[in-house]
Amino acid sequence: MPEKRNENFASTAVAATYSRRFGGDILLTSGPGDAGRGPKLWHAFVLCPPRTSALVEAPPLLCTDNFSGAPLLRRLRLATLRLSLWSVEEDGREGSDSSRHNRGERIQMKVFTSLPAPPSECQSSPQSQRRQSTLSHALVTPADTDSDLDRTTGTPDSSDLLDPQQRSPALDETMAALVLTKYHRFKGVLDDDQQAHITSFHLEEDSEAADTALSDIYVLKVVYTLPGEEGASERSLDLIVKQLPQDPFARFFVKEAQFDLREIKFYTKIVPDMVDFIADRLPDLPAEKQLPIPKCYYPLGDEEIDPSLETILVLEDLKSHDYRSPDFAKGLRLDQATLALEAIAKMHALSLAMRLAHSRPFNDVYPFLFQTDKATDSYQMLLDRGLPQLELFLEKKPHMTPVLKCILNIRHDMKNVISALLSPRCPVALLTHTDFWCNNLLFRADGGHCIVLDWQMVTYSRPTNDVALLVISSLPGELRRAHQHQLLDTYWQAFTAFAAKLNVDVEGGLGYSRAHLQEDYRRSQLLAILLCIGSVDVALGNASAEQRLLDALKDLHAEQIFSQQTIAQCLAA
């Protein structure tokens, strides 16, 4: 254990505060720095009451000695949401793997339920809290912090350690002018010696997306003119600016996992290939019907290898065009689910046609894709956090005891099942979104179109993983039971029809039928519900979302999705 440090007033104050709140002792220790230089890596140890016989360790806190108590408290609370636990026998020896697993997770829940409320200035909106609980949040919640830190080179840049209140958006008016200039040069509107001129610039945080784990999001409203257009009407644009998160902990691990670069490369590598492929195969397809994604105006960082790079992604703000986010608590309506499945079916069919046209596997063509082993670890980290919460939730509902028992019986098979279902072992293996749920969708108010957002998790996998996740996570139970088969038909028809336009015969040429889709969907339901379990805090506390989760668990249990037979089928698939 690192040397105990109590000389820092802020750490001592935080320890005292948390000791009172938890009913146990808090020990803050600092690990070795870079030869005594740079920031310390603080560890927070929650020493639980003696009856628990457990030691809880939070991941390192990135801070400096002159950090005030409030920011450190903020970091500590953030870190306690990312706890890794192990049981300790009464005589102080570390317990067996089984006792550590079974006892430690229950203790974890006691700590979770004892968390104090954050200071008012640190509270996030319910929507931002929901968005923090997706699969994409898993890689900034490491289960083994030391091993994650060991993969880094050197100490995090000092800019990563600033209090969020002291940081500012990376995009200013000068940078915005550069963005517009480069975009219009790319479109052939401006010559190399011409520039856009901004006449009005307004940038503010996106109130619905602030405090997300993977990025800070701003809304930019800009008015500008182009050379040669004096006297003409000014142009205006509403844009979304995504940059690295200001939170030091999240920022450090997002850069390590390259979530920001993966989405940038999606827009700079995959999307241009898709556009070119459509232009070659479907030259008459209207632009607005090509890809159900936001337009990208500017990426910064796609070709850079400097780890300290401040990546920026500038996208069109579709909310200014009357697109709206669905209400997660209520879930999707049937028409919204239909539009979403038609949208992802188009992306699936297009990537399938591209994959068949390539002579190399997609993971070689696009090496930045979210790899199966890394994605599997992310799912497992979510499950390690969410399963104890689900257990406590279901223990209060006696009618759910058989369901809970079945889930716990397969817990040791979960990681292998996840890996098998994420791997591209399928005739129609293609690019999947991998985080395809209602909070990553926008719908036009007139009900005629759906846009798919947040492609940080793009993976080479099987299409039913996206379909199952949407249906299981985002549809109310009654609607799902009544229309699940219809929605699969909708997806199948959209998928095969668009593939056929791209000269791909899914059923005749690849030997993949509607029955095969049904079989894969059945298995993908297990992957989907495991993600829902890992993100159970998304639903807890909201009656409608809780009922949707309970309905899904009961129905999947009745369909034997948690059975050993289904496990064997998943592993063999």
The closest alpha carbon to 264, from 225, 215, 223, belongs to: 215
- The owner of tokens 């104090």 is 116
Which of the two residues, 131 and 465, has the higher pLDDT score?
Answer: 465
CA Rg value for the chain: 25
Phi-psi region of 23 (alpha: psi -120 to 50; beta: other; left: phi over 0): left
Query: With 50 as the cut, is the pLDDT of residue 237 above it?
Result: yes
pLDDT at 481 over 80: yes
Higher-scoring residue by pLDDT: 423, 59: 423
The reported pLDDT for the residue numbered 229 is 65
Most confident of 26-30, 176-180, 548-552: 548-552
Which phi-psi region, left, alpha or beta, contains residue 572 (left: φ > 0; alpha: ψ -120 to 50)?
alpha
Please give the average per-residue pLDDT across 170-181, as a whole number: 84
- Across-strand partners of 299? 313
DSSP state, 87? E
Model pLDDT, residue 227: 85
Q: Using an 8 Å Cβ cutoff, are 557 and 402 in contact?
A: yes
- Mean pLDDT across the stretch 219-225? 91
Determine contact, residues 339/456, Cβ cutoff 8 Å. no
Evaluate if residue 387 carries a pLDDT over 70: yes
Contact 87, 185 (CB under 8 A): no
- pLDDT for 33 beyond 60: no
Cα–Cα dist 34/154, whole Å: 7
Q: What angle do CA 35, 36, 39 make, to 5 degrees?
A: 110
Distance from chain centroid for Cα 139: 8
Q: What is the pLDDT of residue 140?
A: 45
Number of residues written out for the chain: 573
**Measured between alpha carbons, how far is 222 from 180 in angstroms, rounded to an integer?**
10
Q: Positive or negative CA dihedral for 297, 200, 171, 215?
A: negative
d(Cα 127, Cα 442) in Å, to the nearest integer?
14
Write out pLDDT tens, residues 317-343: 999 889 999 999 999 999 999 999 999
pLDDT of residue 77: 35
Measure the CA–CA gap between 7 and 234, rounded to whole angstroms: 60
Mean pLDDT, rounded, for 362-378: 91
Instruction: Assign 397 a pLDDT band (cuts: 50, 70, 90).
Output: very high
| Residue 268 per-residue DSSP state | I
Taking CA atoms, 59 is separated from 141, 317, 419, in Å, by 9, 36, 26
Give kind and range of the element (H or E) at residue 165.
none
How far, in Å, CA of 149 to CA of 170, rounded? Answer: 26
Looking only at the bridges linking them, the beta strands covering 441-444 and 312-316 are unpaired
Cα 119 to Cα 23, 44, 73, 116, 123, distances in angstroms = 20, 19, 9, 9, 7
User: pLDDT at residue 3 above 50?
Assistant: no
DSSP 94: B
Measuring CA to CA, how many Å separate 442 from each of 142, 209, 326, 332, 347? Answer: 30, 13, 7, 11, 16
Residue type, 295: K
pLDDT digits (tens, 9 = 90+) for 424-444: 989 999 999 999 999 999 999
DSSP class of residue 301 equals: S
Q: What is the mean pLDDT of residues 382-389?
A: 87
Query: Which of 166-180, 364-378, 403-417 is predicted with the least confidence, judged by mean pLDDT?
Result: 166-180
How far apart, in whole angstroms, are the C-alpha atoms of residue 105 and residue 356? 45
Q: Which residue has the tokens 């979530």?
A: 259
Beta bridge partners, 358, equal none
Global pTM? Answer: 0.75
pLDDT above 70 (res 547) = yes
Domains and CATH numbers, the chain: 9-120 (no CATH), 124-316 (no CATH), 322-572 (3.90.1200)
